[in-house]
Structure 1
């Protein structure tokens, strides 16, 4: 369990845990730093996927259902022990949503709030338009990642570093490329509150579609910036204030 999480620092007296899901190729340090800003009553737990950081030697996972089952089943003691909320950016939004659905289906649990960021709703028709990332050469892939943003240029232009970062990036993009979701008939899959956040200069996302995945309250919060708006200090602070206000 410990290798799957970065909870730094531990806050055993916190009222609620905020589990943060990474974007494609992402690690845990960005979210771990949120503990410096968020109130002491929130314990931040960043999800660490296979193939990165202390899980560098673990086999990469490029299948959504496998990743979701590992996260949900491994961390179920954490989910059962106190209230929790989920935040996920980009690919992390899809993971956070799918883990929420899995927990409700198999354990009767839901986050007190689901925050999804920078990602079109899973059932949106726009998600059916696919980019075949796996057929790209390394050079084409790096250029595509550069256009999306979020990865430092010193990493993208360093061949030795990219030998380390390329495999998990490709696995994550493969996961998203093959991810599809159809809304079930009848009631929405979730009943918890859902919030969508993004930068105003990011590519258009199907925001209304996110309101269809829950029977609970839906809200959205748009800040200045592109796809990685949350890496801007002021945006990050505003985002954390927004999250804290919603879950405390």
Structure 2
């Protein structure tokens, strides 16, 4: 059998010539770039939207899913490093931890124009280490995803699950078996905005969240919606992201705030 050629991880959606900030998005476990396909038309024209599509999903379905969080972050970081201009990371659930690890690798490599991590519907990494979701049998894993709202218990939902299960399981394994770096190596310089649905029944509303994972500012904000915010809650989520990006536009240091004449 011929080897499957690896496709690029970063999907870049068409951007306006006004775009001067990259919003790089990471989806929940097992998902790829599709949840973000319409975002470019719903965000301000100065935002260019990209999304990370990992092996084992969408057009990369035939590729073997990556086995660890560091592999995932390394693959994403290599391509994101080629982007010019300021970068904001957005991650949903599993994607928030993957986005965090990618951002930290880029910071350690000397990238300074990382404006912010927006972590949506996601516990901080130390809240997931040691979990056993990746060990659940197929039916119990599906039931968990349906309870979170990531999949619907319908024929279509089950068909999607049958395709995505290997990637979903691999993502949870990467999340739950990661070795957290020592405190001196784990802190982002970029600030963190933590978004949670006001009807979220999965996350602990009083937990410490992401405050211990950045030397920058940390803020927690609620938006209308359940745990899974990429469904019917997308409008509220995008409104919160837009407000935050607009603030970052005004707070960014002058060297990073200059109009880039269209980012590349």
TM surpasses 0.5? yes
Which residue of the partner structure matches residue 190 of structure 2? 192
More helix by share: 1
Tell me the equivalent position of 1:96: 99
- Aligned residue in 2 for 1:106: 109
> Is 1:43 the counterpart of 2:48 in the alignment?
yes
Structure 1 length-normalised TM: 0.86
Match of 2:30 among 13, 25, 47: 25
CA contact (8 A) 1:120 1:205 kept: no
Is the 1:194–1:219 Cα contact (8 Å) retained in structure 2?
A: yes
The answer for the alignment partner of 2:225 in structure 1 is 225
The match for 2:14 is 9
Taking a change above 3 Å as real, the CA distance of residues 206 and 44 of structure 1, as seen in their structure-2 partners, is farther
Give the aligned partner of residue 145 of structure 2: 145
Once the two structures are overlaid, the 10-residue window that deviates more, 35-44 or 98-107, is: 98-107
Q: Does 1:169 align with 2:172?
A: no
Measured in 1, the distance between the counterparts of 2:18 and 2:157 equals 44
User: Aligned-pair RMSD on alpha carbons?
Assistant: 2.4
Consecutive unaligned residues in structure 1, runs of 5 or more:
none
Q: Which aligned segments of 4 or more residues in structure 1 are displaced greater than 4 angstroms? A: none
Separation in 2 of the partners of 1:60 and 1:167?
Answer: 7
CA deviations 1:139-170 (Å, max 9, x no partner) are 22211221121213335653x54331211111
Aligned partner of residue 38 in structure 1, secondary structure: coil
Say which SS state the counterpart of residue 66 (structure 1) adopts. helix
CA distance in 2, matches of 1:207, 1:213: 14
User: Can you give the 5+ residue segments of structure 2 that lack an aligned partner in the other structure?
Assistant: 1-5, 250-264
